[in-house]
Amino acid sequence: MHEMTPSEMLRDPMIRQMLRADRISLASFEALLDAAARRHARSASDGTFAASKMPDSWSVYAAANI
């Protein structure tokens, strides 16, 4: 099984259906993916683990305000 790219995730019908069911806009999900990618790239460059820095309150709703 291969990992999906963010672009593939945004086009995937199953993911879109789940987003609709959860009332999460595609734009918010895209912002979340972008923020996660930036955080991952930043942590890769400084040798830290990004998930350990992510606050408990992190959500797709918070991503819309980034």
Q: Where are the domains of the chain?
A: 17-63
pTM above 0.85, yes or no: no
Question: Any idea which residue has 């991952």 for tokens?
Answer: 40
- Distance CA(11)–CA(8), nearest Å, equals 5
pLDDT at 6 over 80: yes
pLDDT of residue 51: 52
d(CA 49, CA 9): 23
Of the CA atoms within 13 Å of residue 37, those in its CB half-sphere come to 10
pLDDT at res. 52: 52
Q: Judge whether residue 10 has pLDDT over 90.
A: yes
Q: What is the pLDDT of residues 26-61, one digit of tens each?
A: 999 999 999 988 988 888 777 665 455 555 555 655
